[in-house]
Amino acid sequence: MMTSVLFQRARVIDPRNGVDGIRDVLVTDGRVAQVSEAVLPAPKDARVVDATGKWVVPGFIDLHVHLREPGEEGKETVLTGCRAAVAGGFTGVVAMPNTKVVNDSALVTELVLSRARDAALCHVYPAGAITKGLKGEELSEAGELVGAGCVALTDDGRPVMNAALMRRVLQYATLFDVPVMVHEEDLTLSAGGAMHEGATSTRLGLRGIPASAEVAMVARDLVLLEETKGRLHVAHVSCEGSVRLIREAKKRGLRVTCEVAPHHFTLDDRAVGDYDTHAKMAPPLRADADVKALREALVDGTVDAIATDHAPHGVSDKQVEFEKGINGIVGLETALGLTLALVHEGVLTPRRAVELLSEGPARVFGLPGGHLAPGSPADITVVSPGEEWTVDAHRFYSRSRNTPFHGRTLKGRVTQTWVGGRCVFEDGQLKESR
């Protein structure tokens, strides 16, 4: 059994600890032992990884993943979702509770955690439902959920339309110091809509979802947040208006954080093209001005994390008329390449890109990892930043193939993923211990 690993001549990017430069990294017994500017001697039993030209960065953490188990194992399971995660460089994922038995109890939380232990690939952090059965009527037992291991509360997939209930959960969650994560969509404004309301929806003759469906709910929840002194995390921010409100609330010291999904900073509503259901998601792809605003917010710190909203669906869910197409795309295996596109375009620095994928999400949900200080868990992603590859959905480790990025050439790929000092993915292959 190998107990140490030495990464040689890596470009180590560790935003929290202010490191960006060529270093050797020594891992011993599952933890980072040393990050050194000087060349380190290899211990006798060590595996030596020549990381010349590569980035060695804190393992990525995805705050927003749908693993579909229990209930929709044909789309994804905890195991296949973890495979997709480590193939995408993620060493930790937060599992959304809108499974087909909703995670609103310790029983379901424990089931997800036990499947994750069996998979033994990456960390899985369940999120528990805000309301029982996601019905928006009655609060679930937050204490029980957090006690069982939930790291956040969310009804993701649905908004909490009842403002009084939202106010109560913001208050209640402060007892457990977990964030309340919100899918912002005023259903009375989005009703009947299939895509962003704009020139493209008019051309295609589709009912639109106005930006206000999101922005009005963000405004409401910031008002409630200020009153309750709670902790709010806004999922998949898609509009300029939301960004402006969150930026202003942060300036005033409110405890609000937010995430943006790669598809929202990469594509605008024109990607719907000719009724392409692979461009259908909630919130929808927005206007060009919104994409610009999201990119600015990624740069200036308004956005805390890039999260994929990995949403696996079967072929039959997408091979239907646009209006009937189900929302969502898979994202774990394309997130790095799409994020690095912003680096190659000069929008983000490498350091900021790494921060948005690792340190930022760890901080937002208070998760371990996200940095490489000596003593921290050796959750490490090795990136080949200039390597070009073409997305082939048929080769995804995810059980689902629903992506608008099939055939797109991306620059930058994950060459190794290490979790707790164990290599779980290398050169396109999984290293499963099972």
Applying CB under 5 A, the residues found at the interface with Zn ion are 156, 183
CB nearer to Zn ion: give 183 or 278. Answer: 183
Please state the length of the chain.
Answer: 434
309 catalytic residue (yes or no): yes
CB nearer to Zn ion: give 104 or 156. Answer: 156
CB nearer to Zn ion: give 72 or 379. Answer: 72
Q: Is 123 annotated as a binding residue?
A: no
- As a whole number of angstroms, the distance between CA 400 and CA 250 comes to 37
The answer for residues whose C-beta is within 8 angstroms of residue 123's C-beta and 6 or more apart is: 91, 92, 93, 116, 367, 368, 369, 379, 419
Q: Is 233 annotated as a binding residue?
A: no
Q: Letter for the amino acid at 324? A: K
Give the shortest CB-157-to-Zn ion separation in angstroms: 5
Whether residue 64 contacts residue 331, with contact meaning beta carbons closer than 8 Å, is answered with no
Give the shortest CB-77-to-Zn ion separation in angstroms: 20
Instruction: Point out the residue whose Cβ comes nearest to Zn ion.
Output: 183
Q: Is 156 annotated as a binding residue?
A: yes
Whether residue 54 contacts residue 84, with contact meaning beta carbons closer than 8 Å, is answered with no
Q: Is 196 annotated as a binding residue?
A: no
Q: Which two tokens stand for residue 99?
A: 């499974």
For residue 419, what are the β-bridge partners? 422
308, 222, 210, 311: which is closest to 260 by C-alpha?
A: 308
Q: Letter for the amino acid at 211? A: A
Give the shortest CB-235-to-Zn ion separation in angstroms: 5
Q: Is 17 annotated as a binding residue?
A: no
Catalytic residue chosen out of the listed positions 62, 155, 309, 379: 309
CB nearer to Zn ion: give 12 or 260. Answer: 260
Give the shortest CB-223-to-Zn ion separation in angstroms: 21
Whether residue 265 contacts residue 298, with contact meaning beta carbons closer than 8 Å, is answered with yes
3-state helix, strand, coil in the chain (%, to 5): 35, 25, 40
CB nearer to Zn ion: give 156 or 304. Answer: 156
Compute the Cα dihedral for 292, 287, 306, 363 and give only its sign.
positive
Q: Is 430 annotated as a binding residue?
A: no
Residues of each annotated binding site: 64, 66-68, 98, 156, 183, 236, 309, 313
Catalytic residues: 309
Residues of each annotated binding site for substrate: 66-68, 98, 313
Residues of each annotated binding site for Zn(2+): 64, 66, 156, 183, 236, 309
